[in-house]
Structure 1
Amino acid sequence: MIRIHHEGFRILLQTLVILGLINFLVIWLSDMEWLENSVLFLSLVVYILVLQFFRNPKRFPPQGDDIVIAPADGKIVAIEEIEEPEYFKKKMLQISIFMSPLNVHVNRYPVPGTVKYSQYHAGAYLVAWHPKSSTLNERTAVVVENPSGVEVMHKQIAGAVARRIINYAKVGSKAIQGADCGFIRFGSRVDIVLPLDANILVKVGDKARGGEQILAELK
């Protein structure tokens, strides 16, 4: 049984109605069976693709105050030292995960604790793997302080196709490790910003599994 994220309910209904109308018009206006069958087949393919985009598989997050789990499915495209300009304003480590349209697009809290910062930024729509997309694209930035007092940032970054970032994090709210913290449509990137002394457990090119895979250990 496929679990569907609630962010997809309205779009799936709209898609079903539009495809149904298209098929109705084709059947009504055409007497060519091959055309009717072709449109029906293409409609099924389109609906299945939209359906799989909004799937929300159950994940079983490992629990630990000092571990950082992947906030999203996708490919790890960068692990680098950066000068973080928005909140920390100092050198930090950043892990970047690129989410293709075929990945699960649910975003999850990487650490437990309290939300200390949550901010939306309007911006451009560079391709998500562009080095400057992290600071120039439409994005959100969320900082969670874990029970040990260590702060971790995750950023939802729109890509060339994504036009809708949904962020559930509110300042002062409780962050449950592995629980939903947002959603992005339709292809994008998530960055995790960590202290320099974090022990990174993954490498560039690895496939991240949101809500389950441990990316790093905090000290």
Structure 2
Amino acid sequence: MRRTVISNEFAKMRHLHSWLLAALLLVVVTAVTVLGGVGNPYFDRATADSWNSLLSTFGGAVPLAAPLLLAIMASRQVDVEHVGGGWLLSATSGVTPGSLCRAKFLALAALVTGATVGSSALVTGTGLLLGVTAPWPAGRWLACTAAVLVVNLVLVALHVMVSARVENQLVGLGVGLLGTILALVASSLPGWLAHLVPWGYYGVAAGAEYVGSELVAATPSLLSIAGLAVVTGLAFGILTHRFDRQEA
């Protein structure tokens, strides 16, 4: 893929205010995590419960904000091609529709990665600034952040394809809204059911969870997340190449 194609997508973002949406994702996730985590009765600066409280709230803040915001970001990035005849214009310059979709994904992935990792880092920094003396659970925290990031990127790929194939962008936004509901109830779904939809994987990415009324450490299911990434990567590659042939 030519570097200029991806550069063009970043240029479009300046006019689409995608940076503001990514910043909103970072701010909302960080604010909800910090306010909810610090206000949790389990938050005790001297024990590991303080980090578990923040991890648990982080696991709830991301599915609250990310599904719909990611749908909006992808929709705006793709809709500009529908409105302005960008598919045909790109094709005349040798950039196929599938290649354009892949470029859009990579450009959006850079923003989403920055917002996801940034919010995780800010929550960690806030915990340290608030005087948490318990050791930072680096392994669980990094695993949870990586797992959440993979789920976010999977949703970006999904919404890029939905927005590209369905010109009515309300469909993609409706999927994002439905995804928000599924993501919020993911932890209460049976394991097999949570694995059937991408939003359900937010539940298996948790680094801390409640067992009854007790807050305990949890290990993100990295094997399940890796499987989701592989399946989505293959599906995205196949669908974008079919997109090329159909539009040829």
Tell me the TM-score normalised to structure 2 length.
0.27
Between Structure 1 and Structure 2, the one with more helix by share is 2
Between Structure 1 and Structure 2, the one with more strand by share is 1
Tell me the TM-score normalised to structure 1 length.
0.30
